[in-house]
């Protein structure tokens, strides 16, 4: 008989908002526990928001609280990548070197990157990366090490 601690924990809400009045940066905060139906619904909602503008949009995704990765990462991320919205400019993952490492491993394994990704420790660095990218600058110098060691 399963114990309560073995039961799946419910999803927590993903918060999302426009970070600037020009609607050029979409920001989202992810909770520590999510499951794929919630993530897929969130991505579809992000694409609907992008349909409301006629310009490129960068994302700042605060993944600092994420502590649970649902099964099927590769399969689900591949499906999300296939539906990528054409107005995605830059995606900045913020606050979790672990999530950045997982993304890096995925990219190396499957050689997929339909749009640029970057990593930032905090919001100030995220905005600096977006500005640097928009000016045509390289993001490489501001990325964490390719592989994180303990």
pLDDT value of residue 114: 66
123 assigned to some structural domain = yes
What CATH number corresponds to the domain at position 126?
A: 3.30.750.24
Taken as a whole, the chain contains a residue count of 150
| DSSP-derived secondary structure letter, 65 | T
94 assigned to some structural domain = yes
User: Which stretch of 44-48, 81-85, 108-112 has the lowest confidence by average pLDDT?
Assistant: 108-112
Strand order in the sheet with 117-120: 15-18, 25-29, 57-62, 88-94, 117-120
Q: What pLDDT, in 10s, does the model give residues 86-112?
A: 999 999 989 888 788 777 777 777 766
The total of structural domains in the chain comes to: 1
Give, in order, the Cα–Cα distances in Å from 97 to each of 34, 72, 94: 18, 20, 8
- Threshold 0.85, pTM exceeds: no
Q: What pLDDT, in 10s, does the model give residues 16-42?
A: 999 999 999 999 999 888 888 888 899
Task: Give the chain's mean pLDDT.
Answer: 81
38 assigned to some structural domain = yes
98 assigned to some structural domain = yes
122: number of Cβ within 10 Å: 12
149 assigned to some structural domain = no
61 assigned to some structural domain = yes
Domain that holds residue 83: 9-135
70 assigned to some structural domain = yes
Token pair in block for residue 26: 């979409």
112 assigned to some structural domain = yes
């Amino acid at each position: 008989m399963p114990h309560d601690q073995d039961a799946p924990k419910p999803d927590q809400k993903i918060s999302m908002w426009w970070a600037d009045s020009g609607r050029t940066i979409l920001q989202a905060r992810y909770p520590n526990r999510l499951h794929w139906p919630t993530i897929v619904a969130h991505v579809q909602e992000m694409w609907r928001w992008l349909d409301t503008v006629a310009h490129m949009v960068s994302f700042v995704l605060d993944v600092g609280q994420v502590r649970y990765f649902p099964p099927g990462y590769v399969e689900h991320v591949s499906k999300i990548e296939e539906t990528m919205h054409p107005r995605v400019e830059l995606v900045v993952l913020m606050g979790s070197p672990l999530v950045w490492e997982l993304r890096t491993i995925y990219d190396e394994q499957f050689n997929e990157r339909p749009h640029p990704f970057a990593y930032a420790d905090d919001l100030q660095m995220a905005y600096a990366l977006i500005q640097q990218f928009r000016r045509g600058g390289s993001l490489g110098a501001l990325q964490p090490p390719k592989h994180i060691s303990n």
